[in-house]
Chain A
Amino acid sequence: MQTKPVIQLDAIHKTYHTGEVDVHAVRGISLEIFSGEFVAIMGSSGSGKSTLMNMIGALDRPTGGHYWLDGIDVSTLGRDALADVRNEKIGFVFQGFNLLSRTSAVENVEMPMLYHRHRIPAHEQQTRATAALELVGLGDRADHHPNQLSGGQQQRVAIARALVNRPSLLLADEPTGNLDSQTSIEIMGVFQKLNDQGITIIMVTHELDVARFTKRMVILRDGKIVTDEAVQNRSIGEKELLRLRQEQQAVKLAS
């Protein structure tokens, strides 16, 4: 089944020219990610994981090497073509949620459809946005504005937005960074559920606890891959949530 990779990185380099010093942020990364995978990209700050993430997300182009996304050589595309790739192939989830304020959840979710190359009729936008919100368990909050939603709920809206154009890849950048531990586990549970439905997910994080929810861990250091292995003793969202509740219960009983 895993004949063709969704993502194929071939000796990717990225050098920033800032002033007189060249910063070599990514130094020759080759990586293949197949459909249905759930990958955590880890590394300390300065390891090049954000740069790699930007390139995988078609926000930036490598200065060397090639990047195929769904068979398209993204590394040669122009600005507009990159925008179309982001629109159709990639769904983004950010640390800070990045929802439009004073805009209802359903309108936030509709946004990527407004930029689709082919015009999507208004009623279809509505249906798809509502369906995406239901998928992340927020069907009843469609008309709420971000300031009326909790952090976890906002991140769920962001996930719904990322999914609404049916991308080949869901890209999450520290998606639990702004959330408390219980909400983090809930969100990871959402990701696991989506992955179980066949959605490919790549997630950048520096927390091992969070990375343990994924299936494969890629660790970077100084712009190179140092570890690439399957996750042992994988955490499961529902189980972890149960364990957390028991612990909280125990703390209450003790006090």
Chain B
Amino acid sequence: MRIFASIKIAGRALRRNKMRSLLTMLGIIIGVGAVIGSVSLTTGATKQVENQVASLGENVITVFSGNFTSGAMRGGWGSAPTLTVDDAYAIALLPDVAAVSPEVRDREQILADGENWNTQVMGESPDYPQIVNRSIASGAMFTAQDVRSLAKSAIIGKTVVDELFPGENPLGQTLRIRDIPFQVVGVFAAKGFNLFGQDQDDIVVVPYSSHMHRITTRTFLNDILVEASSDKTIIQAQNEVSDLLSSRHRSKEPDFTVRNQADLMDRVSASSRVMGSLLAGVAAVSLIVGGIGIMNIMLVSVTERTREIGIRMAVGARAADILVQFLIEAVTLSAIGGSLGIIGGMTFSWLIAYFQHWPTVTPTVWIVVAFISSAVIGIISGFYPAWKASKLDPIDALRYE
């Protein structure tokens, strides 16, 4: 097999010109390195966003009441009193629904022990922690019995604990909402800020019945949180909820809106797709620039080594041997450059992850893509110079000064 001889020859030629080989590779190194680095950063960021979306609760469908319209003025979502607790009970009986929490929300000034704090007070069912993927750090969630008895029990977030009961055990303590004493029966595990920058720990959760009868005296819900039985039935569950509410409300126009977490996920992945295609564009441009660098150097190299080509042909190299030799040189340059670029890009993203605490992920598929495309760039950019070299006439090449 003469291909081994060609590999040997190409290797020797590249080693003879170490500095030039390195500089030629630099284009590909930087191109591939930039691609791998930025892909790692954006993949890491996307992963983090996806995790946050998932942490809002999986398989969750949210039913908002319709918007209140009075004359030309239109209220926002949840402004019309269309959703009732009975609606929520009916939804809970649907086949593809696993859990339901009627939700009422309100901002209230809360007092405790001489401290006070303004926070979001939410009325929920005992299924709330399960639906939104939250766990109770200490104490326990209120029960269905508490809902029936309009219990004055509250589960509070970590921020509220810090503001109202600094350095104390909040369990069993009393806080006052509109002068009504509620007992802290549980504390949520800290969850931090959500996608929209809201502090998810700055909440007080009470039974929805208590909220509606003791605090706000409201008869309608802001929304209903519904958990589908699995991620496969989420669309089905959504349709069932829509059909059920349409028949219950008997309105011509739907007076409610149903959304699911998948919609949000879709929007997130749509933005990461845009990011991805942007990156692919940058990648393509930088690889093409690197490829042009290789072609340029290979052309110079062929001219400069015309005599060498002549000598090789004189001692018996066929045109194909010369072609393969120069092709292998180009591919070796770009493949080694690509490998170094991958290592460089991964090192860069690792450094970012280490020092900036930014999550980075280097997808294996991109490593493979980067390597293959740099090799392909080598073949494409090396072919013309190699072909030119192989077409040289040995006599002319030998005489070349």
Q: Does B317 contact A (CB under 8 A)?
A: yes
Q: Does A244 contact B (CB under 8 A)?
A: no
Q: How far is the CB of A122 from chain B (nearest CB, A)?
A: 9
Which residues on the A side are within 8 Å of B4 (C-beta)? 119
Q: Does B274 contact A (CB under 8 A)?
A: no
A103 touches B16 (CB 8 A): yes
A60 nearest in chain B by CB position = B395
A92, A100, A101: the one contacting B314 at CB < 8 Å is A92
- One of A28-36, A109-117, A180-188 contacting the partner: A109-117
A74-98 contact mask (Cβ, 8 Å, vs B): 1 or 0: 0000011001101110001010001
Cα distance, A73 to B313, chains bound together (Å): 20
Cα distance, A95 to B305, chains bound together (Å): 18
Interface residues of B in 269-306 (CB under 8 A from A): none
A116 touches B318 (CB 8 A): no
B362-401 contact mask (Cβ, 8 Å, vs A): 1 or 0: 0000000000000000000000000000000011001000
A112, A115, A165: the one contacting B318 at CB < 8 Å is A115
Q: How far is the CB of B22 from chain A (nearest CB, A)?
A: 16
B318 touches A94 (CB 8 A): no
Cα distance, A152 to B207, chains bound together (Å): 103
B5, B314, B316, B398: the one contacting A84 at CB < 8 Å is B316
Cα distance, A84 to B321, chains bound together (Å): 12
Cα distance, A107 to B398, chains bound together (Å): 19
B17 nearest in chain A by CB position = A102
B395 touches A87 (CB 8 A): no
Cα distance, A84 to B398, chains bound together (Å): 18
Q: Does B311 contact A (CB under 8 A)?
A: yes
Q: Does B12 contact A (CB under 8 A)?
A: yes
A53-86 contact mask (Cβ, 8 Å, vs B): 1 or 0: 0100101100000000000000000011001101
Cα distance, A135 to B53, chains bound together (Å): 79
A102 nearest in chain B by CB position = B16
A54 touches B317 (CB 8 A): no
A87 touches B319 (CB 8 A): no
Q: How far is the CB of B317 from chain A (nearest CB, A)?
A: 5
B12 touches A115 (CB 8 A): no
A86, A100, A101: the one contacting B316 at CB < 8 Å is A86
Cα distance, A161 to B315, chains bound together (Å): 9
Which residues on the A side are within 8 Å of B313 (C-beta)? 83, 86
Q: Does B8 contact A (CB under 8 A)?
A: yes
Q: How large is the interface on B (under 10, 10 to 19, 20 to 34, 35 or more residues)?
A: 20 to 34
Knowing A86-B315, A98-B307 touch, does A115 contact B395 (C-beta < 8 A)? Answer: no
B315 touches A111 (CB 8 A): yes
B5, B307, B308, B310: the one contacting A115 at CB < 8 Å is B5
Q: How far is the CB of A88 from chain B (nearest CB, A)?
A: 7
B316 touches A112 (CB 8 A): yes
Knowing A107-B12, A114-B9 touch, does A87 contact B398 (C-beta < 8 A)? Answer: no
Q: How far is the CB of A147 from chain B (nearest CB, A)?
A: 12
Size of interface on A: residues with Cβ below 8 Å to B:
27
Q: How far is the CB of B284 from chain A (nearest CB, A)?
A: 36
Which residues on the A side are within 8 Å of B308 (C-beta)? 100
B315 touches A115 (CB 8 A): yes
B9 nearest in chain A by CB position = A114
Cα distance, A54 to B397, chains bound together (Å): 13
A59 touches B314 (CB 8 A): yes
Which residues on the A side are within 8 Å of B310 (C-beta)? 98
Which residues on the B side are within 8 Å of A112 (C-beta)? 315-316
Which of B315, B318, B321, B395 has the largest count of A CB atoms less than 10 A from its CB? Answer: B315
Q: How far is the CB of A146 from chain B (nearest CB, A)?
A: 12
Which residues on the A side are within 8 Å of B318 (C-beta)? 79-80, 83-84, 115
Knowing A103-B12, A115-B2, A115-B321 touch, does A59 contact B395 (C-beta < 8 A)? Answer: yes
B317 touches A83 (CB 8 A): yes
Which residues on the B side are within 8 Å of A87 (C-beta)? 315-317
A119 touches B315 (CB 8 A): no
Which residues on the B side are within 8 Å of A94 (C-beta)? 398
Cα distance, A100 to B309, chains bound together (Å): 10
Cα distance, A165 to B316, chains bound together (Å): 10
B395 touches A92 (CB 8 A): no
Q: How far is the CB of B94 from chain A (nearest CB, A)?
A: 75
Which residues on the A side are within 8 Å of B5 (C-beta)? 114-115, 119
Which residues on the B side are within 8 Å of A114 (C-beta)? 2, 5, 8-9
Which residues on the B side are within 8 Å of A92 (C-beta)? 314-315
B401 nearest in chain A by CB position = A96
Cα distance, A59 to B315, chains bound together (Å): 10
Which of A87, A88, A111, A119 has the largest count of B CB atoms less than 10 A from its CB? Answer: A111
B315 touches A100 (CB 8 A): no
Knowing A79-B318, A115-B318 touch, does A59 contact B312 (C-beta < 8 A)? Answer: no
Q: List 5 A-B contacts (CB under 8 A).
A: A60-B395, A83-B316, A115-B312, A115-B315, A115-B316
Closest 7 CB pairs of A and B: A87-B316, A114-B5, A112-B315, A115-B316, A102-B16, A83-B318, A80-B318
Additional A-B contacts beyond A87-B315, A107-B12, A111-B315 (11; CB < 8 A): A59-B395, A60-B395, A83-B316, A92-B314, A92-B315, A98-B398, A102-B16, A115-B2, A115-B312, A115-B316, A161-B315
Q: Which residues of B line the A interface, CB within 8 A?
A: 1-2, 4-5, 8-9, 12, 16, 307-308, 310-321, 394-395, 398
